Amino acid sequence: MYSSIDSFMERVTAKNPGEKEFHQAVYEVVESIWDFLQENPHYVHAKIMERIIEPERVLMFRVPWRNDRGEIEINRGYRVEFNSAIGPYKGGLRFHPSVNLSILKFLGFEQVFKNSLTTLPMGGGKGGSDFDPKGKSDNEVMTFCQSFMTELYRHVGPNTDIPAGDIGVGGREIGFLFGQYKRIRNEFTGILTGKGLNWGGSLIRPEATGYGAVYFAKEMLNTRGESFEGKTVAISGSGNVAQYANEKINQLGGKVVTLSDSNGSIYDPDGIDEEKLQFIMELKNVKRGRIKEYAEKYGCEYWENKRPWKAQVEVAIPSATQNEINKEEAQMLVDNGCVCVAEGANMPCEPEAIEVFHEKEILFGPGKAANAGGVAVSGLEMSQNSMRLGWSREEVDQKLHNIMKNIHDACVKQGTKGEYVNYVKGSNIAGFIKVADAMLDQGVV
């Protein structure tokens, strides 16, 4: 039994040394459900918190491959199978040089709560590699993916563990991974989501995270009688999540004025409309170029090595990576009139930034609620695979929209105090209850 949050965290830190992102993610959950736990001591007696922060299984493996020059390269592969209380492990794969166990454990831990919120039967997991796809040829990416799957195949399965994309893993990588799995197992089955449309993928999966984040922000704005119509929006990143958040905001009458990549941000006060977004999609998904080229083409400002948060906007949708909004940037956003922040990325706001948003009582949607649309449609892809049927675009989009509304309602139910909705608290409590109850039902596992 722990007498305080601090003593609980001391133990977490000692047991998981150096894993600062994991500590951060655990702290956020523990801090926001602490009172709820004291009011529901059966969870405390069953040590659910101690159990839920321990991954069920962590896999770490060597990924050797040969580059185009014929040299051997060695990367490290991971799969963190975090929790299977409510369904098979489900969550993305991240290929980025920064990937380490701490980052994948934080992502896997968040995924457990996020997947629970979707209302679909999915447990939580995450994986990836420190492989850097930047500057690699298609052939090198394929060779790497084949080697990665040559180990991973023994751990995944349609009822066991179903990976998907994340940073650095999109349709191209999922294709190479799927092809290699099929070759090894001689089995065509739904072991990955985010697949191509004519080989088992779902319509709307590419759009789902970005669209879902905007649907969630729309619900938040709606609680204050507001909408996206006429609103100016800052988005960070220019990958999958950022692109489709931009597209949906345009459709809802908002104006996106920033996008970014790891080298800098563009600021286009005229708005990134449909045509300009097509340029971004071609630039990022096909040519694999830098966001700076947008500024060169459209003659707008480029903020080298700067994040986009100094732009004057009413809504912010951070959609690049973890810890990309600090306290000062949060303060700057609020001072400039920002009323709503929805996390398209996982944990993009530092804890001190979230404190600023909560103190100022602006609308703040944490990633596990706001970006759950991606994994939700992955869940729908799994359903379609099991039925060997495909739903129409409209059908999937409608289901996604309903799921985001339901997640919003669950946050409001668990997170409202007085007039203000604390969506962090709401999402953590709502996500926790379902998983914790399933763990209780299943005994000491």
* Distance separating alpha carbons of residues 54 and 235, to the nearest angstrom: 33
CA distances from 250 to 51, 102, 229, 310, 316 (A): 43, 36, 9, 21, 14
* Distance separating alpha carbons of residues 407 and 52, to the nearest angstrom: 21
* Distance separating alpha carbons of residues 86 and 439, to the nearest angstrom: 8
Can residue 262 be called a binding residue for ligand NDP (CB under 6 A)? yes
Tokens for 267, please give them. 């600021």
Can residue 110 be called a binding residue for ligand NDP (CB under 6 A)? no
Which one of residues 87, 88, 92, 210 is an interface residue with ligand 2IT (CB under 6 A)? 92
Tokens for 380, please give them. 């729908």
| Residue 91 contacts which entry, ligand 2IT, ligand NDP, none (Cβ below 5-8 A, type-dependent) | ligand 2IT
Nearest distance from C-beta of residue 235 to ligand 2IT, angstroms: 17
Tokens for 233, please give them. 């929006």
Grouping H, G, I as helix, E, B as strand and the rest as coil, residue 162 is: strand
Nearer CB in complex with ligand 2IT: 164/330? 164
Nearest distance from C-beta of residue 216 to ligand 2IT, angstroms: 13
Can residue 261 be called a binding residue for ligand NDP (CB under 6 A)? yes
Can residue 427 be called a binding residue for ligand NDP (CB under 6 A)? no
Can residue 103 be called a binding residue for ligand NDP (CB under 6 A)? no
Q: Is 361 exposed, middle or buried (0-12, 13-18, 19+ CB in 10 A)?
A: middle
Q: Are the C-beta atoms of residues 390 and 366 closer than 8 Å to each other?
A: no
Tokens for 397, please give them. 């989009």
Nearest distance from C-beta of residue 304 to ligand 2IT, angstroms: 28
Continuous segment of H or E residues that includes residue 81: strand 72-83
Nearest distance from C-beta of residue 102 to ligand 2IT, angstroms: 16
Of the candidate spans 9-17, 318-326, 373-381, 387-395, the one that interacts with ligand 2IT by CB under 6 A turns out to be: 373-381
Nearer CB in complex with ligand 2IT: 145/375? 375
Length reported for the chain? 445
Q: Are the C-beta atoms of residues 57 and 43 closer than 8 Å to each other?
A: no
Can residue 382 be called a binding residue for ligand NDP (CB under 6 A)? no
Q: Are the C-beta atoms of residues 321 and 348 closer than 8 Å to each other?
A: yes
Which one of residues 55, 91, 212, 318 is an interface residue with ligand 2IT (CB under 6 A)? 91
Residues 6 or more apart from 247 whose CB is under 8 A from it?
A: 207, 210, 211, 274, 277
Of the candidate spans 38-46, 62-70, 162-170, 413-421, the one that interacts with ligand NDP by CB under 6 A turns out to be: 162-170
Which one of residues 28, 166, 247, 350 is an interface residue with ligand 2IT (CB under 6 A)? 166
Nearer CB in complex with ligand 2IT: 25/338? 25
Can residue 193 be called a binding residue for ligand 2IT (CB under 6 A)? yes
Say which DSSP state 199 is in. Answer: G
Can residue 129 be called a binding residue for ligand NDP (CB under 6 A)? no
Nearer CB in complex with ligand NDP: 21/48? 21
What is the contact mask toward ligand NDP in residues 326 to 365, using x (rule: CB under 6 A)?
A: ------------------xxx-------------------
* Distance separating alpha carbons of residues 6 and 379, to the nearest angstrom: 36
Can residue 346 be called a binding residue for ligand 2IT (CB under 6 A)? yes
* Distance separating alpha carbons of residues 427 and 28, to the nearest angstrom: 11
Question: What residue ranges bind ligand NDP (CB under 6 A)?
Answer: 165-168, 170, 209, 237-242, 261-262, 319-321, 344-346, 371, 374
Question: What residue ranges bind ligand 2IT (CB under 6 A)?
Answer: 90-92, 111, 114, 164, 166, 193, 346, 374-375, 378
